[in-house]
Protein backbone atom coordinates (compact mmCIF):
# COMPACT_ATOMS: atom_id res chain seq x y z
CA UNK A 1 0.00 0.00 0.00
CA UNK A 2 2.76 2.45 0.88
CA UNK A 3 4.46 1.87 -2.47
CA UNK A 4 1.24 2.57 -4.35
CA UNK A 5 0.48 5.71 -2.33
CA UNK A 6 3.96 7.06 -3.01
CA UNK A 7 3.67 6.29 -6.74
CA UNK A 8 6.65 3.91 -6.64
CA UNK A 9 4.79 0.70 -7.50
CA UNK A 10 2.05 -1.60 -6.34
CA UNK A 11 4.02 -4.03 -4.22
CA UNK A 12 3.31 -6.92 -6.59
CA UNK A 13 6.86 -6.45 -7.89
CA UNK A 14 8.32 -7.31 -4.46
CA UNK A 15 9.49 -10.86 -3.78
CA UNK A 16 10.33 -12.00 -0.26
CA UNK A 17 12.23 -15.24 0.26
CA UNK A 18 12.64 -16.66 3.74
CA UNK A 19 14.33 -20.04 4.16
CA UNK A 20 15.01 -20.50 7.88
CA UNK A 21 18.44 -18.88 8.03
CA UNK A 22 20.36 -15.71 7.22
CA UNK A 23 21.17 -15.64 3.53
CA UNK A 24 19.52 -19.01 2.83
CA UNK A 25 18.69 -19.00 -0.84
CA UNK A 26 20.00 -15.48 -1.33
CA UNK A 27 23.31 -16.44 -2.94
CA UNK A 28 24.11 -14.05 -5.74
CA UNK A 29 21.51 -11.44 -4.89
CA UNK A 30 23.41 -8.99 -2.70
CA UNK A 31 20.48 -6.63 -3.21
CA UNK A 32 21.81 -5.27 -6.51
CA UNK A 33 22.26 -8.19 -8.83
CA UNK A 34 20.74 -8.57 -12.21
CA UNK A 35 22.46 -6.57 -14.95
CA UNK A 36 23.11 -3.21 -13.24
CA UNK A 37 25.80 -4.85 -11.10
CA UNK A 38 27.63 -6.09 -14.17
CA UNK A 39 27.55 -2.87 -16.17
CA UNK A 40 27.47 0.05 -13.73
CA UNK A 41 29.66 1.49 -10.98
CA UNK A 42 30.38 -1.13 -8.35
CA UNK A 43 30.91 0.88 -5.16
CA UNK A 44 27.49 -0.07 -3.74
CA UNK A 45 27.91 -3.70 -4.72
CA UNK A 46 31.37 -3.99 -3.19
CA UNK A 47 30.20 -2.64 0.15
CA UNK A 48 27.37 -5.15 0.27
CA UNK A 49 29.61 -7.99 -0.89
CA UNK A 50 32.06 -7.27 1.93
CA UNK A 51 29.27 -7.68 4.49
CA UNK A 52 28.29 -11.09 3.09
CA UNK A 53 31.92 -12.16 2.74
CA UNK A 54 32.74 -11.12 6.31
CA UNK A 55 30.97 -14.23 7.62
CA UNK A 56 29.91 -16.44 4.69
CA UNK A 57 29.10 -19.48 6.81
CA UNK A 58 26.67 -17.70 9.15
CA UNK A 59 25.16 -15.62 6.32
CA UNK A 60 24.83 -18.71 4.14
CA UNK A 61 26.70 -16.93 1.36
CA UNK A 62 28.20 -18.89 -1.51
CA UNK A 63 30.19 -16.97 -4.11
CA UNK A 64 28.99 -17.41 -7.67
CA UNK A 65 30.50 -16.54 -11.03
CA UNK A 66 29.08 -15.00 -14.18
CA UNK A 67 29.09 -16.70 -17.57
CA UNK A 68 28.70 -14.78 -20.81
CA UNK A 69 28.15 -16.87 -23.92
CA UNK A 70 27.77 -14.43 -26.81
CA UNK A 71 29.79 -11.93 -28.80
CA UNK A 72 27.37 -9.13 -27.87
CA UNK A 73 28.28 -9.47 -24.20
CA UNK A 74 32.05 -9.71 -24.63
CA UNK A 75 32.70 -5.96 -24.35
CA UNK A 76 30.37 -5.46 -21.36
CA UNK A 77 31.91 -8.39 -19.50
CA UNK A 78 35.43 -7.08 -20.15
CA UNK A 79 34.32 -3.65 -18.93
CA UNK A 80 32.72 -5.18 -15.83
CA UNK A 81 35.93 -7.00 -14.97
CA UNK A 82 37.90 -3.74 -15.24
CA UNK A 83 35.31 -2.03 -13.00
CA UNK A 84 35.71 -4.83 -10.46
CA UNK A 85 39.48 -4.42 -10.42
CA UNK A 86 39.17 -0.64 -9.99
CA UNK A 87 36.67 -1.17 -7.15
CA UNK A 88 38.98 -3.54 -5.30
CA UNK A 89 36.83 -6.60 -5.99
CA UNK A 90 39.03 -9.32 -7.54
CA UNK A 91 37.94 -11.41 -10.50
CA UNK A 92 39.53 -13.36 -13.30
CA UNK A 93 38.51 -12.94 -16.93
CA UNK A 94 38.82 -15.76 -19.44
CA UNK A 95 38.20 -15.07 -23.14
CA UNK A 96 38.00 -17.33 -26.19
CA UNK A 97 39.80 -20.66 -25.85
CA UNK A 98 40.88 -19.80 -22.30
CA UNK A 99 37.21 -19.29 -21.37
CA UNK A 100 36.25 -22.65 -22.82
CA UNK A 101 39.13 -24.41 -21.04
CA UNK A 102 38.30 -22.79 -17.69
CA UNK A 103 34.60 -23.51 -17.85
CA UNK A 104 35.16 -27.08 -18.99
CA UNK A 105 37.40 -27.55 -15.96
CA UNK A 106 34.45 -26.75 -13.66
CA UNK A 107 31.45 -27.46 -15.89
CA UNK A 108 31.60 -29.41 -19.19
CA UNK A 109 30.20 -27.41 -22.15
CA UNK A 110 31.20 -25.95 -25.55
CA UNK A 111 30.92 -22.81 -27.76
CA UNK A 112 32.06 -20.21 -25.21
CA UNK A 113 33.20 -16.66 -25.95
CA UNK A 114 34.02 -15.23 -22.48
CA UNK A 115 33.86 -16.23 -18.80
CA UNK A 116 34.40 -14.07 -15.69
CA UNK A 117 34.90 -15.83 -12.37
CA UNK A 118 34.90 -14.08 -9.00
CA UNK A 119 36.66 -16.25 -6.46
CA UNK A 120 37.08 -14.42 -3.18
CA UNK A 121 37.59 -14.85 0.53
CA UNK A 122 34.16 -16.41 0.98
CA UNK A 123 35.31 -19.53 -0.85
CA UNK A 124 38.42 -19.68 1.28
CA UNK A 125 36.40 -19.27 4.47
CA UNK A 126 34.18 -22.17 3.45
CA UNK A 127 37.30 -24.16 2.55
CA UNK A 128 36.28 -24.49 -1.10
CA UNK A 129 39.31 -24.94 -3.33
CA UNK A 130 39.21 -24.40 -7.08
Range of the domain at 58: 2-125
Q: Is residue 20 part of a domain?
A: yes
Residue 99 within a domain: yes
Q: Is the residue at 67 inside a domain?
A: yes
Confidence of residue 130 (pLDDT cuts 50, 70, 90): very low
The answer to whether position 101 is within a domain reads: yes
Tally the domains of the chain.
1
**Is the CA virtual torsion 52, 54, 56, 57 positive or negative?**
negative
Do the domain assignments include residue 52?
A: yes
- pLDDT tens for residues 65-94? 666 667 777 887 788 788 778 877 777 888
Residue 54 included in any domain = yes
Helix %, strand %, coil % of the chain (to 5): 45, 10, 45
| In-domain check, residue 130 | no
Between residues 6 and 15, the one the model is more confident about = 6
pLDDT tens across 14-62, in order? 665 555 665 555 444 444 444 444 555 565 666 667 777 788 777 777 6
- Of 23 and 97, the structure prediction assigns the larger pLDDT to 97
Amino acid sequence: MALEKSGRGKGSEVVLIDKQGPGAGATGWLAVYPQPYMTGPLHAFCGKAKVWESDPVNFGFQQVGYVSVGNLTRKPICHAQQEQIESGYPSDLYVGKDAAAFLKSIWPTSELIAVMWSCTRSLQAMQVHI
